[in-house]
A and B are shown apart, each in its own frame.
Chain A
Amino acid sequence: MIKIDNLTKSIRGTEILKDITISMDKGRITGLVGPNGSGKTMLMRAIVGLMRPSKGSITLHGWNPYGPSKQEAARPSIGMLLEGPAFVDGLSGLENLKMLASIRGTAQEDDLIGALSSIGLDPKDKRKYRSYSLGMKQRLGLACAVMEHPDILVVDEPTNALDVTGVRLAVDIIKQEALRGATVVVACHDASIMSELAHEVWHLAEGHLEGHDVLDREGGEQ
């Protein structure tokens, strides 16, 4: 479960996130919607540990991503796709995943091949990342996010640059991860995709929460 309590973030004197309190349950997909600049991506960066809150706290399955390193044993695995995915230009898709998976060493080659195949990328494709189209880059970003079957999955605009088939595959993968038990956070501008994916949706505007919809769908630990 992801628990965000009174989270406020200021950058150079401007509050970009204001007093946000949300609880996100295991096995459920939580959607974040709002106009550009509403703070969705910043909130996601804060959740994955890339942006320290000015006030308030974040815990992921009880673990504080900004706490002391001695808590490492309790750390859940995190998969993320934020804005434009980034990889090593001179490596193929599989080689990129192998390099990143080696950091924790929990995902096996079969997991990586499975992740690539599930999003419609050929694991045997030797082309380098630099020659990938935008859609292929996005698919690789998604494969990377789910390759370790993480406890927490945070995806920002997962269907960006994807064709119809890619969108379908992306939606299916995200649903499967939630069914497996991951806590999933998704930001997406496409209302139809959000309504298909999310169990609940939080509306953000100018850095604060404006509203909350619970959609009629089963799943997760309440």
Chain B
Amino acid sequence: MRSFLMILRSDIKHGLKRVVLRHVLVFAVALFAGYLTYAAVFTTAGYIAIDYKSTMGDMVLCLFGGIPVYSPSSGKEFEFPMVWIAIFVAAAYVTLDYPLHDLQGVGATSIVISGSRWSWWLSKCSWVIINACIICVLWAITILIFTLISGSSFDLTPTSEGVMLSGLRSIDNQPHPLSLGMYVLSLLPLLISILLIQLFVSLMAGPYVALAATLAILFLSTFYMSPYLLGEYLLAGRNAAILTNGVDSGIGILFALGVSTISILIGGMIFTHKDILAGKANGND
């Protein structure tokens, strides 16, 4: 227990310092992405001259709405949800390479001194979870900023106009959108589960493969509508609050907890058998 806590203390102190600029990038991307969709929504609202009283739920849709359900057989062109992907890729970038960098540097010494690979692994999982918490706080601040700027009400239930103006109108829309409260709550466990998968892949196959795996999870989720894809639950526009046949955030939370638990346990078991060979790193920031 002591070795885990001491390695974690070092990860928090030095590992977080190493990714401060990446957190700034997450915030900047969220602000920029939010601004783009926010501007588009309010410009369109002004153009069609509707009486639009926006809510915080509309601001959540601006950032995390993604795209409506896409049917590959429909013959329609697939619209890549650049804003939504950029937000999550920026988040994935935060924790992408520090654990591997540490393992190829001072982390190997930590493992030998502690005699416990589990301490090192659990510390890195905890570090990833802490980063996910920070990212969610930055997203919450972004939503709050846009809520205040737009004079929206602090209600997580989007308006029908907000759904339409965010480009999420579909024949399956709820007649009256429901609260996105559960969706907002599910963001943290879902982000943690994706970052833990990425952590495992980065240690086994390197950071580039890990980022590709994260992108694949996100992209497949936008392309297909399947409750078996983690990213599906991150698309607010496909949530049951917006779509009559949308995904349930409660199930998303359980799914994320299951994936996270499996990633930590199976990842730890595989990591204890991994050969730790020399890497390029010879110093940790």
A87 lies within 8 A of B283 (CB):
yes
Which residues in window 95-125 of A have CB below 8 A to B? Answer: 96, 99-100, 102-105
Task: Write 21 A-B pairs (CB below 8 A) sorted by A numbering.
Answer: A11-B275, A45-B276, A48-B112, A50-B112, A50-B277, A65-B115, A75-B115, A85-B109, A86-B104, A86-B106, A87-B106, A88-B10, A88-B106, A88-B283, A90-B14, A90-B285, A91-B14, A100-B109, A102-B6, A104-B2, A104-B3
A88 lies within 8 A of B284 (CB):
yes
A76-84, A158-166, A173-181, A195-203: which one contacts chain B? A76-84
Q: Which residues of A contact B (CB under 8 A)?
A: 11, 41, 45, 48-52, 65, 69, 72, 75, 78, 80, 82-91, 96, 99-100, 102-105, 129-130, 137, 144, 148
Which residues in window 229-252 of B have CB below 8 A to A? Answer: none
Residue ID in chain B nearest A145 by CB atoms: B109
B113 lies within 8 A of A78 (CB):
yes
Residue ID in chain B nearest A152 by CB atoms: B112
- Point out which of A41, A83, A86, A137 has the most chain B C-beta atoms below 10 A from its C-beta: A86
Residue ID in chain B nearest A107 by CB atoms: B113
* Distance of B8 from chain A, by nearest CB (Å): 11
Q: Other than the known A50-B277, A86-B284, A90-B285, what 15 A-B pairs have Cβ atoms closer than 8 Å?
A: A11-B275, A50-B108, A50-B275, A50-B276, A51-B276, A65-B115, A78-B112, A80-B112, A86-B104, A87-B106, A88-B106, A89-B284, A91-B14, A100-B110, A100-B113
Residue ID in chain B nearest A63 by CB atoms: B115
Partner of A87, one of B6, B17, B112, B284: B284
Chain B residues within 8 Å of A11, by CB: 275
* Distance of B119 from chain A, by nearest CB (Å): 8
Q: Does B76 interact with chain A (Cβ within 8 Å)? A: no
Contacts between chains A and B (CB distance < 8 A), count: 90
A72 lies within 8 A of B116 (CB):
yes
Residue ID in chain A nearest B273 by CB atoms: A52
Residue ID in chain A nearest B117 by CB atoms: A49
Q: Does B278 interact with chain A (Cβ within 8 Å)? A: yes
Chain B residues within 8 Å of A100, by CB: 106, 109-110, 113
Chain A residues within 8 Å of B6, by CB: 102-103, 105
B108 lies within 8 A of A103 (CB):
no
Chain A residues within 8 Å of B3, by CB: 103-104
A69 to B4 Cα, complex, angstroms? 14
B275 lies within 8 A of A51 (CB):
yes
B285 lies within 8 A of A80 (CB):
no
Q: Does B84 interact with chain A (Cβ within 8 Å)? A: no
Chain A residues within 8 Å of B17, by CB: 90
B109 lies within 8 A of A50 (CB):
no
Partner of B115, one of A72, A91, A99: A72
Interface mask (B51-81 → A, CB under 8 Å = 1, otherwise 0): 0000000000000000000000000000000
A52 to B277 Cα, complex, angstroms? 11
A86 lies within 8 A of B115 (CB):
no
* Distance of B236 from chain A, by nearest CB (Å): 39
Residue ID in chain B nearest A65 by CB atoms: B115
Residue ID in chain B nearest A42 by CB atoms: B277
A52 lies within 8 A of B275 (CB):
yes
A103 lies within 8 A of B7 (CB):
yes
Q: Does B114 interact with chain A (Cβ within 8 Å)? A: yes
* Distance of B13 from chain A, by nearest CB (Å): 8
Chain B residues within 8 Å of A104, by CB: 2-3, 113-114
Residue ID in chain A nearest B118 by CB atoms: A69
